[in-house]
Amino acid sequence: MKTKRHGAVLGLIAAGALLLTACGSDANTPQGQAPATGESSTPVDCGGKSKLSAEGSSAQKNAMDTFVQAYQQKCQGADLAYNASGSGAGVKQFIGGQVDFGGSDSPLSESKGEVAKAAERCQGNPAWNLPLVFGPVAVGYKLEGVTDLTLSGELVAKIFNGTVKKWNDPAVAALNGSAKLPDKDIKVVYRSDESGTTDNFQLYLDAASKGAWTQGAGKQFKGGVGEAKEKSAGVAQAVGSVDGAITYVELSFAQDNKLSIAKIDNGSGAVELNDASVGKAIDGAKIKGTGNDLVLDLDSIYGSTEAGTYPLLLATYEIVCSKGYDADTAKAVKAFLTVAATDGQAGLADAGYAPVPQAFQEKLLTAIKAIA
Amino acid sequence: MNDRTVAPRPAGTGSTGARAGVPAARPDSEAPIPPTTEADQKTIVRPGDRIFAGLATGSGIFIVVLIAAIGVFLLLQAIPSLALDQVNFLTSREWSTGDVDNMRYGILDLFLVTVVSSAFALVIAMPIALGIALFLTQYAPRRLARPFAYVIDLLAAVPSIIFGLWGLLVLGPVLTPIGEWLTSNLGWLPLFAEGNVSIELGGTIFTAGIVLAVMILPIITAVSREVFDRTPVTHVEGAIALGATKWEVVRTTVLPFGKAGYVSASMLGLGRALGETIALTIILSGTGAAFAWSLFDGGATFASKIALAAPEFNDPRTAGAYIAAGLVLFVLTFGVNAIARSIVAGHKEYE
C-alpha cells in the first residue's frame, strides 16, 4: 500500500506537469478555450445553514472533497457532508427530502417518475440538473514500442467487442500509419464492479461507433471479451502490468499507472486528452433541458465531429431544487454551488477531473443565481 | 478417558466442548466423584446458577432465531426479483440485472466458481494443516510448539484485503510461469486447460485458491492441533508399549482419534473459503465467458459478485437478484456445515 501511495503522489505530480506542458504544446486547440480556473474574484454570498448534506454518485466523490475544501476556505464555518452512496441512492434521498441536493451520473428521469417526485419535494417547483463535474475517461493501454496511438470511436468499439483482436489488425494500422504495431493479442480489461464510467463509456461507443457497437449501455460492461478487474485502480494496475492490454479508465488512474493514453479521432483528426480538448467538448455540448435545467445532450458530446474535441468524458450532475428550499438552506446551497462552479474547479485537474470552460461556467452561474 | 491429562477442547470442535465445561459449572450433578473440595460446598442452587443458565439458553435461542431471520429476510427480498427473472435462476450462466424489465440472471457460474475455488483451497490446505498440527502435537519439542502455534494463529488475524493485494500484486506474478507450464504440459486435463482469462494477469481460480488456502490454514491447523493434543495418553503409551514407532503411534492412535475433529476443522475452513469476499473481488478477474472447469478460468464467487455490485444498488429489484444469489450461498454454507456436523456426530462413540 505504501508504495502505491507514493505512486499516487508521483502520478499527481506527473499529471500536473503533463497538464502544464499540454497547454503549451498542443497546436490543435485554440488557446481561447483555456479553462476558467483560479479565479477567486467571484463574490460568494456566504451564510445560511452551516452544515449542508448531499448524497449520491461515487464518481464525483473526489470532486466534492475538492469543492468542500474550497467552500470552507471561502465561507468560514460552513461545511457540507457528501455521502457517496451511488447515483440511485442520491436521487432517492433527494426526493425523500433527506439531503439538500443529490449527486447523480444521470439526470432525473421522466419515465421513472423522478421528475414529478422531485418537483413534489421542491414544493411544486421543478428540480434542476446542474452538470458541475466532468471527468475525462482515457482509453489507456500498454504496448511496448507504441506510445502514440490513435483510435476512432468505431475502432474503440470494435476492440472492446472483440471484432478487432490483434494490435496489427489493418483497422488499427490504417489510423496509425507510422507506428510499428506488433502481432499481439489485444487484451481488453474492463470494470468488474458496476460503474458509471462503464455506463458512459458504452454510451459513447453507442453514439460514436457508427453502428459497430450493438451491445447497448449500462453499468455492467457488455462487450463480451476480455477480463474484468475491480474498480479503476484494479483495471489500471492490470493494464500497467501486461503488455498488449487496453482499458477505459479515469484519466488520473491512467496517469498513476503510467499507461499510454490513446488519442481519439472523431473524424476530424487525432485529439489528445487534455484540459483544452475536454473543455472544448463541454463547450460544444447541447443543452437538452429547458431554461436553467442544464441537462446535457450527451450524444452531442459523444458524437461531436468538431476538430480538437475529446469526446469521451463522464458528466455528473448536482440535482437541486429551483425553488422551495427554506431561506437558510437556499442561501447555503447557492453559496456552495457558486464556490463549486468557480474556485472549486481549480483543484479538479489534480483530482483527475476536467474544469468547466468559461462559457459553460457562466451558464452554471446563471442557473445557480436563479435558485431561490 | 482421563480428564486430567487432556487439554481443554475449544468450543468450535463440536458439541463435546459444552460437555467439557459442565463439571465446573454444575459440580452437584457429579456428586459421586467430586473434582475438588471447593465444589463440595456448593450443593444449593444459587442465583448465579439461574442467571447463568438463563443467559446460556437465551444466547442459544437468540442465535437460532437470528439465523432463521436471515434466511427469511433473504427469501422475502429474493422472491419478487426471482419472479422477474427471464431465465432459469439455477441453470443459467447469464448475469444481467441492469434493465429491470429484462432481468436475465442465473447462478450456475457463480456456484461452480465458488465451489471449485474453495475445494481447490481445501485440497491444498488440508494436508498442510494436518502436517503442521501433527508436527506441533507429536514431533515438536513443547518449548517450540507453543510459540510456533501462536505464529500460525497470527495468520488468521491478517485482514483479507491484505491477502487480496498480496495475491494480486505479489503471488500472481510469481505463479505466472507455473501456470503457463501447467497449461502447456498438462493442458489436456480439463482442470489445467487454458482458461478464459489471461494467466499473466493472475486473476485465475488457481491464484485465488492458493490465497484462500493460506487464509483457511490457521483455522484448520488450530482446531486439528487441539484435537490431536487430546489423544488419550493411555492409547499412545499402549501403542509405544507394543513397540510402535513414532509414525505408527500417529497412524494407529492420533489419526483415528482426531479424524472427526480434523474433518470438522476442514469444513469450518471450507465455510470460511466459501464466504470469502474482499480478497476474491481483488484477485479474481471477471469474465463474460462461461466457466469451463479449468483452474485457469476467471469469474466471480457469490460473495465477490455481490460485493462488486453493492455500491451501485439503486433498485430493490436489482438488489433482490443479488440477494437471491446470497440465499444460495447461505444454503450452500448450511449444507457444508450440516455435512461437517454429521461427520462429527457419526464418530462420537469413539470418544
- Give pLDDT tens digits for B36-94: 555 555 578 888 889 999 999 999 999 999 999 998 998 998 999 999 889 999 999 88
- Dihedral sign (CA A341, A346, A349, A355): positive
Instruction: Report if residue A302 sits inside a domain.
Output: no
| Same structural domain, A73 and A140 | no
Give the nearest partner residue to B201 out of A221, A222, A227, using CB atoms. A227
With CA atoms as reference, report the closest residue to A251 among A18, A31, A7, A6. Answer: A18
Burial group, residue A299, by CB count within 10 angstroms (0-12, 13-18, 19+): middle
B162 Cβ contact partners less than 8 Å away, ≥ 6 residues apart: none
Number of domains in chain A: 2
Give the range among A29-43, A139-153, A218-232, B65-79 with minimum mean pLDDT.
A29-43
Same domain (yes/no): A54, A75:
yes
> Are both A121 and A189 inside the same structural domain?
no
pLDDT, tens digit, for every residue of B287-311?
A: 888 898 999 999 999 999 999 888 7
Q: How far is it, in rounded angstroms, from Cα B5 to Cα A223?
A: 65
Q: How many A×B Cβ pairs under 8 Å?
A: 88
Q: Are A171 and A114 found together in one domain?
A: no
**Residues A146, A239 within the same domain:** yes
Interface touch B286/A187, C-beta < 8 Å: no
Closest CA to A226 of A218, A235, A216: A235
Q: Give domain status of residue A271, yes or no.
A: yes
Sequence-ordered list of residues with C-beta below 8 angstroms from that of B255, at least 6 positions apart, any chain: none
Are A175 and A253 in the same domain? yes
Residues A153 and A220 in one domain: yes
Q: Which of A105-114, A193-202, B188-197, B254-263 has the lowest mean pLDDT?
A: A105-114
Instruction: Look at B314 and A228 and tell me if their CB atoms are within 8 Å.
Output: no
Indicate the angle between helix axes A61-74 and A327-341, nearest 10 degrees: 110
**Domain limits for position A104:** 4-135+314-370
Q: Among all chains, which residue has been given the C-alpha cell 474433518?
A: B263
- Co-location of A151 and A240 in the same domain: yes
Can you tell me the mean pLDDT for A235-250?
92
Cα of B92 vs its chain's centroid, Å: 27
What does the pLDDT read at residue B196? Answer: 86
Picking from A215, A250, A278, the residue at the C-terminal end of a domain is A278
d(CA A233, CA A235): 6
Domain finish residue from A232, A262, A278: A278
Burial of A31 (0-12, 13-18, 19+ CB in 10 A): exposed
Query: What is the reported pLDDT for B37?
Result: 57
Cβ contact (<8 Å) for B201 and A192? Answer: no
Could you tell me which of A156, A212, A207 has the C-alpha nearest to residue A186? A156
- Residue partners of A155: CB distance under 8 A and separation at least 6: A164, A171, A172, A175
Residues A73 and A163 in one domain: no
* pLDDT confidence of residue B32: 58
Question: Do A107 and A126 fall within a single domain?
Answer: yes
Identify which has the larger pLDDT, B339 or A273: A273
Quickly tell me which residue has 474556485 as its cell.
Answer: A343
Average pLDDT of the residues of chain B: 85
Q: Does B167 touch chain A (CB under 8 A)?
A: no
CA distance A276 to A298: 18
Determine, yes or no, domain membership for A301: no
CATH of residue A184's domain is 3.40.190.10
Q: What DSSP element (H or E) covers A82?
A: strand A79-83
Domain annotation covers residue A326 = yes
| B288 at A interface, C-beta within 8 A | yes
Tens of pLDDT, residue by residue over A167-178, are 999 999 999 888
Residues A144 and A196 in one domain: yes
Between B4 and B205, name the one with better pLDDT: B205
Q: Which residue has the cell 449501455?
A: A217
CA nearest to A162 within chain B: B288
Contacts of residue A174, defined as CB under 8 A and 6 or more positions apart, other chains included, come to none
Going by C-alpha positions, the residue among A258, A345, A268 that lies closest to residue A63 is A345
Instruction: Please report whether residue A290 resides in a domain.
Output: no
> How far is B307 from B293, CA to CA, in rounded Å?
24
Q: Which residue has the cell 464466504?
A: B275
Quick one: closest CA in A to B306, which residue?
Answer: A193
Q: What's the average model confidence in pLDDT over A224-242?
A: 90
| Nearest CB to B312; choose among A194, A238, A245 | A194
Is A178 among the domain residues? Answer: yes
| A51 and A23 in a common domain | yes
Look up residue A354 and give its DSSP letter: B
Q: Residues A100, A333: contact at Cβ < 8 Å?
A: yes
Q: How far is B307 from chain A (nearest CA, A)?
A: 8
**Cell numbers 455528473 label which residue?**
A316
Nearest to A86 among B169, B200, B313 (CB): B313
Q: Is A294 part of a structural domain of the chain?
A: no
> Three-state SS string across A268-315, please?
CCEECCCHHHHHHHHHCCEECCCCCCCCEEHHHHHCCCCCCCCCCEEE
- Rounded CA-CA distance B113/B203 in Å is 13
- From chain B, the residues in CB contact with A5 under 8 A are none
Residue A291 lies in a domain: no
Contact A58 B311 (CB under 8 A): yes
